[in-house]
Amino acid sequence: MTTEWRDTLRRRANGEDAHAYARDDVVRDVRRDRVGIVMGHVGPRYQLRPPAGGREWEAAPSDIEPASASVQLRAKVAEANRTSRNRGACG
């Protein structure tokens, strides 16, 4: 678990900001039943991207929740694979 993720969970537990997700947090969009990586936010809505790359989508804070540890690991592996493939294609 990253320091940023711990901070997010702490803030949520303390009620400071129930929907405070940082860039690169792995979350689950419960409305769409999709996993995404937080890329940022505009106003109250978050921009999410699939872990293996692809088209971003927006989600309301009430529609996302922290992803489980196993889902986070899969997302990080998918991101590493995508980065590795892109580096190989350009180099």
Per residue in 24-34, pLDDT tens? 999 999 999 99
Compute CA distances 15 → 1, 9, 19, 38, 64, whole Å: 20, 10, 9, 20, 16
- Please report the pLDDT score of residue 86 as a whole number: 77
Digit-coded pLDDT (tens) for 48-82:
999 888 899 999 999 999 999 898 888 888 888 88
Domain positions in the chain are 22-90
CATH architecture of the domain formed by 22-90: Roll (2.30)
pTM above 0.75, yes or no: no
Confidence tier at 15 by pLDDT (50, 70, 90): low
